[in-house]
Amino acid sequence: MYSEIRRAWNQSRGSAGARTLAEMLTQNGVPMSRYRAGRLMKYLNLSSCQPGKHQYKNVRQEHTCLPNLLERQFAVPEPDRVWCGDITYIWAGNRWCYLAVVMDLFARRVIGWSLSANAYTALISSALRMACETRGQPSDVIFHSVQGSHYTSRQFRQLLWRYRIRQSMSRRGNCPDITESTPDGKTEEDRMTMCSWRSR
């Protein structure tokens, strides 16, 4: 049991906590509660190492040109009204990679994604193109994200204009809405970490 815990923790590069380790082990045929996983982690002197929170200035100031059209209203009446975008990093194979996703807020399902070793604007542009191709380029869509430099870049904003998509952004320092609006509370990084461990 100790070796299984350590193996799963190593696979997550030290980022998995008791809840994630319990899910990883349970899904691989080793029943485990988060409390037992926590006790085993303590016995093995393992801890979850997460990157520190970025310190923002003027956290209540919105982007001067891009309003918050969503206003944290996650209840969407129909598909293809609001899409949310975000970037995270995952351990893929033997290195860290960046994952960009586009999610339809109505169904809480990812409709576009892109994976790359570099977090360039092309990464999120590729995820948006996949979403548009998947959904047949619907009209009157709002694309919501945090105020990252990739989402405010001229290249990405021109792509949104080309698809006739309205852009919306949260205020600086807010947690990404795409993470908060998932029904089970898990981030894409949590899911992809478990997928990476199961694929070995």
200 residues of the chain, pLDDT tens digit each:
778 877 877 777 677 788 888 888 887 788 888 888 888 888 888 877 655 554 444 444 444 567 788 777 767 789 999 999 998 888 777 778 889 999 998 888 999 999 988 878 899 999 999 999 999 988 889 999 888 888 888 999 999 999 999 999 886 555 444 455 544 444 444 444 444 444 44
Q: How far is CA 130 from the centre of its chain?
A: 16
Strand order in the sheet with 165-169: 109-116, 95-104, 82-92, 141-145, 165-169
For position 134, what pLDDT does the model report?
92
Q: How many CA atoms lie within 13 A of 82 on its CB side?
A: 23
pTM for the complete prediction? 0.60
Q: How far is CA 64 from the centre of its chain?
A: 25
For position 61, what pLDDT does the model report?
44
Q: Does domain 82-180+193-197 have CATH number 3.30.420.10?
A: yes
What phi and psi, each to the nearest 5 degrees, are found at residue 100?
-105, 135
The residue extents of the domains of the chain are 1-44, 82-180+193-197
Sequence-separated contacts (24+) of 54-58 with Cβ below 8 Å: 56/172, 56/173, 57/172, 58/172
